[in-house]
Amino acid sequence: MPVYLDVSAAVHRRAGLGRYAASLTAALRPLMPDELALFYNAEAGIEPVPELAGLPARTVALGYKPWRMAVWAGQLADAGFPGLGGQMGRRLLPDAALFHGMEHLLLPVQDIPTVLTVHDLIFRQLPGHHKPLNRWYLNATLPLFCRRASHIIAVSEFTRGDLTTSYGVAPEKVTVIPEAADSRFGPQKAEHVEQVRSRYGLPDRYLLCVGTIEPRKNLSRLLAAWEPLYLAGEAPPLVIVGRRGWLYDDFFAALESSPAKDGAHFPGWVDDEDLPAFYAGADLFLMPSLYEGFGLPVLEAMASGAPVACSNTTSLPEVAGDAALYFDPLDTDAIRDSVRLAESDPALRADLRERGYQRAAAFSWARAAGETLAVYRRLMGAGPRGNSR
């Protein structure tokens, strides 16, 4: 009987959620070669990412919003969809032994154990930084999904604390299983770094930020911190990698009016094969985020050899340990001081680089997969329902 993983976030390449789904599934594959199966929303005929090819899969083909509304309706009715439970043979999940929702969506399957991964509660803690419709949906549904799940996986202790405080989830219902950098993120050959630098037109030296361009990433304060340093020749150009997300107009308006705007580079989405070289070529990787449920780019940067400076809030100290410079993300002067310190001290950057390698090595997808499999085995041995109505 297969264990179904909802990898829709990976299929649709949804930044951090997609990387989590693809990486964990790939790491689980050798541990349960005859049990693993995929479930995903195949709207517009999208196919899974290459690392998931060859696994058996069941799909639906609905738009993103209609599918989410259908899942919610099924949970509100306390009933499985036709084909998921009851009399219709579970056409969507035939013979399933367990279902794992790897983003914030839990199918209303009634007669098997269910696992839900919760990455963060950003929509609740920073409501003004989320699109209104998405915020409304998650506020309405995630508490219900957490109650209905047999067990919850949180990607950090910080997120587990958020769940217990915000929703009253019992701590014993939540297992913390940290993420990790993919194996492609590691020390890079100098020639590869130079090839990528040339292909993307990167400057010889640069500061790097990676993530979806949205208010939570705090890029406006980063711009304000970097601008005077760049104009004074104390900091190199700034490279920001990532797709435009939402509510980004204020940031780009500030950039357009900045006297340092010619020093800011936006390559957009960067292929996973090239991203490690972006990290490795950076003088300093910066993550000034206001809120992170985990903060995977910190580990990717460390594994690739970039010194790291990041916010001292939410999950980031838990992830970065003693291998980063920290600053208050609400304090522009503190961000600027961290950049100035790192840029003025090559020995400090070298020390951060070595600490980063060691810190990143403490996290692995193999360990995450083993701990996730232990959750599956425990639930399947305990029967189908461990959830609260």
CA terminus-to-terminus distance, the chain:
26
Q: How confident is the model at residue 52 (pLDDT cuts 50, 70, 90)?
A: confident
Q: How confident is the model at residue 84 (pLDDT cuts 50, 70, 90)?
A: very low
Give residue 335's identity as a one-letter amino acid code: I
- Tokens read off for 205: 């030296």
* pLDDT (0 to 100) of residue 389: 43
Q: How confident is the model at residue 374 (pLDDT cuts 50, 70, 90)?
A: very high
Q: What are phi and psi of 308, to 5 degrees?
A: -125, 135
Kindly state whether residues 45 and 86 are assigned to the same domain: yes
Task: Specify the residue for token string 């599956």.
Answer: 376
Kindly state whether residues 161 and 278 are assigned to the same domain: no
How far apart (Å, rounded) are the C-alpha atoms in residues 115 and 100? 5
Give residue 272's identity as a one-letter amino acid code: D
* pLDDT (0 to 100) of residue 386: 46
**C-alpha 192: how far from its chain's center?**
26
* pLDDT (0 to 100) of residue 247: 75
Does residue 389 form part of some domain? no
**Average pLDDT of the chain, as a whole number:** 90
Q: Residues 42, 75: contact at Cβ < 8 Å?
A: no
- Helix (H) or strand (E) segment spanning residue 124: helix 122-125
Q: Report the DSSP beta bridge partners of residue 268.
A: 241
Residue of 160, 163, 159, 133 whose CA lies nearest to 147: 163
Task: Specify the residue for token string 């972006």.
Answer: 278
Kindly state whether residues 134 and 268 are assigned to the same domain: no
pLDDT digits (tens, 9 = 90+) for 189-244: 999 999 999 999 999 999 999 988 889 999 999 999 999 999 999 999 999 998 88
Does residue 45 form part of some domain? yes
Does residue 301 form part of some domain? yes
**In CATH, what number is assigned to the domain containing residue 130?**
3.40.50.2000
Q: Give just the sign of the alpha carbon dihedral 318, 316, 286, 25.
A: positive
Q: How confident is the model at residue 130 (pLDDT cuts 50, 70, 90)?
A: confident
Does residue 388 form part of some domain? no
Does residue 254 form part of some domain? yes
Does residue 185 form part of some domain? no
Q: Residues 306, 230: contact at Cβ < 8 Å?
A: no
Kindly state whether residues 290 and 210 are assigned to the same domain: yes
Does residue 264 form part of some domain? yes
Residue of 52, 98, 29 whose CA lies nearest to 368: 29
Q: What's the rounded mean pLDDT across residues 19-40?
A: 94
Kindly state whether residues 78 and 197 are assigned to the same domain: no
Range of the domain at 203: 190-361
Kindly state whether residues 221 and 129 are assigned to the same domain: no
- Tokens read off for 203: 């400057």
* pLDDT (0 to 100) of residue 349: 98
Q: Is the pLDDT assigned to residue 370 strictly greater than 70?
A: yes
Q: What are phi and psi of 41, to 5 degrees?
A: -85, 110
Q: Is the pLDDT assigned to residue 69 strictly greater than 80?
A: yes
Kindly state whether residues 16 and 114 are assigned to the same domain: yes
Q: Is the pLDDT assigned to residue 39 strictly greater than 70?
A: yes
How far apart (Å, rounded) are the C-alpha atoms in residues 298 and 306? 9
Kindly state whether residues 206 and 111 are assigned to the same domain: no
pLDDT digits (tens, 9 = 90+) for 305-348: 999 999 999 999 999 999 999 999 999 999 999 999 999 999 99
Kindly state whether residues 357 and 369 are assigned to the same domain: no
How far apart (Å, rounded) are the C-alpha atoms in residues 183 and 186? 7
Kindly state whether residues 92 and 205 are assigned to the same domain: no
In sequence order, which residues have a C-beta less than 8 Å from that of residue 1 and are 6 or more positions away?
35, 95, 96, 97
Q: How confident is the model at residue 88 (pLDDT cuts 50, 70, 90)?
A: very low
Q: What's the rounded mean pLDDT across residues 272-286?
A: 96
Kindly state whether residues 174 and 151 are assigned to the same domain: yes
Kindly state whether residues 263 and 300 are assigned to the same domain: yes
Does residue 387 form part of some domain? no
* pLDDT (0 to 100) of residue 47: 66
How many domains does the structure of the chain reveal?
A: 2
